[in-house]
């Protein structure tokens, strides 16, 4: 299974991987899931260390990487940036409390076998794209080991992979699957665009019929939209954008309603983060809620998806997320299996 074309490669965005490579990762994740369920040993990363730097909170990502590395025979090492010297970009160092990323990356590069970073939002002052720059800076300096993006402000590739793994488990195919990534209301505007970006890229890469639905003012990144369009054309899928949640839900096989913030009120488009302006856009769209009535517009076998954590009572009703169409815990579980596949292939 192990193929040298994966070894040492970073995992920052699914756009760095071809459709065939994405499918190979999914196939291997399926195999690892079967082995996990049967209790078959699969210690492909014995004595390997993954360093994980979390600038933000996490339940799923931290625990899926830690448990996954243990099952692979290695160790995932949790690093709280406030308990090391906060890794900082050149020119942003503060004496005594930070360390330049180029130095942090080169030190960890000498000691371990992989480096994973989570960073978005507050740690970069909601400057959209800056956290992605930080992840790429780590990748530039960690010359001998792969860097895995555990969610930045542009991409959440591990989530996107788990999402499509879950789709394939439930439908057995991507062909003809209408995959609707929809904005949904949340009282919090502190939501990066990374999950919807990676979800539409992943679904388009493997050939789903992707529909992106959102109110006006909540558009995704132009480059991501162009890349999704291109991937859909290449894969034989399709890509459409709608400003009508109910219209988008009609006939859907997958609905993925989730809040994300407005790029228009964040730098570099705005001169400073204007989260109160975003709040006004959010508050005007409280009816973008996934409830049982909207789910009835979809296909009979529709699956409700969410990366979690979700805002119950706002993005989705309890009846939907706890109901028979919900596959959110499959999605959460698949984070572990797909990340084990990525780590095994890259860190072997
Ligand atoms: N979906 C996801 O990344 O969850 P966490 O924020 O809990 O890691």
Q: How does pLDDT run across 276-300, given as a tens digit for each residue?
A: 999 999 999 999 999 999 999 999 9
Residues 254-266, mean pLDDT to the nearest whole number: 98
Under DSSP, the state recorded for 236 is T
- Please give the pLDDT value at position 130: 98
- Please give the pLDDT value at position 182: 99
- Please give the pLDDT value at position 2: 67
Spatial distance between the Cα atoms of 302 and 57, rounded to a whole number of angstroms: 31
- Please give the pLDDT value at position 280: 97
- Please give the pLDDT value at position 106: 98
C-beta separation of 203 from 237 below 8 A = yes
- Please give the pLDDT value at position 49: 98
CA of 158 to the centre of ligand 1 (A): 10
pLDDT above 70: percentage of residues in the chain: 99
Ordered domains of the chain (ranges, CATH): 14-154+333-347 (3.40.50.1370), 157-331 (3.40.50.1370)
- Please give the pLDDT value at position 348: 83
Q: Report residues whose beta carbon is within 6 angstroms of any ligand 1 atom.
A: 58-61, 151, 159, 307-308
Task: Tell which atom from ligand 1 comes closest to the C-alpha of 62.
Answer: 8
Q: How does pLDDT run across 154-212, given as a tens digit for each residue?
A: 999 999 999 999 999 999 999 999 999 999 999 999 999 999 999 999 999 999 999 99
| Residues contacting 174, CB < 8 A, separation 6+ | 164, 167, 168, 203, 206, 207, 208, 235, 237
Q: How does pLDDT run across 285-341, given as a tens digit for each residue?
A: 999 999 999 999 999 999 999 999 999 999 999 999 999 999 999 999 999 999 999
CA of 231 to the centre of ligand 1 (A): 26
């Amino acid at each position: 299974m192990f193929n040298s074309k994966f070894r040492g490669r970073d995992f920052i965005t699914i756009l760095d991987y071809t459709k065939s490579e994405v499918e190979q990762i999914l196939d291997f994740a399926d195999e690892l899931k079967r082995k996990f369920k049967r209790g078959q040993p699969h210690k492909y990363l014995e004595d390997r260390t993954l360093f994980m730097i979390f600038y933000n909170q996490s339940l799923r990502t931290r625990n899926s990487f830690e448990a996954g590395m243990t099952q692979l025979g290695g160790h995932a090492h949790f690093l709280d940036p406030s308990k090391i010297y906060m890794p900082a970009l050149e020119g942003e160092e503060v004496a005594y409390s930070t360390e330049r990323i180029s130095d942090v990356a080169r030190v960890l590069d000498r000691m371990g076998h992989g480096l994973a970073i989570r960073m978005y939002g507050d740690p970069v002052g909601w400057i959209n794209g800056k956290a992605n720059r930080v992840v790429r800076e780590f990748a530039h300096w960690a010359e001998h080991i792969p860097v895995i993006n555990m969610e930045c402000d542009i991409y959440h590739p591990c989530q996107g992979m788990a999402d499509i793994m879950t789709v394939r488990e439930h439908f057995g195919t991507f062909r003809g699957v209408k995959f609707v990534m929809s904005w949904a209301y949340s009282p919090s505007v502190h939501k990066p665009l990374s999950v919807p970006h990676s979800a539409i890229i992943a679904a388009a890469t493997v050939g789903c019929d992707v529909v992106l639905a959102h109110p006006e003012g909540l558009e995704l990144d132009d480059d991501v939209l162009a890349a999704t369009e291109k991937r859909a054309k290449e894969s034989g899928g399709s890509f459409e954008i709608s400003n009508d949640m109910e219209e988008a839900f009609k006939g859907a096989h997958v609905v993925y309603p989730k809040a994300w913030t407005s790029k228009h009120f964040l730098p570099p488009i705005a001169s400073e983060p204007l989260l109160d302006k975003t709040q006004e856009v959010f508050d005007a769209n409280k009816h973008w809620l996934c409830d049982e009535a909207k789910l009835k517009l979809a296909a009979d076998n529709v699956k409700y998806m969410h990366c979690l954590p979700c805002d119950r009572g706002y993005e989705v009703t309890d009846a939907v997320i706890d109901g028979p169409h919900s596959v959110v815990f499959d999605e959460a579980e698949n984070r572990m299996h797909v990340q084990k596949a990525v780590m095994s292939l890259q860190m072997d």
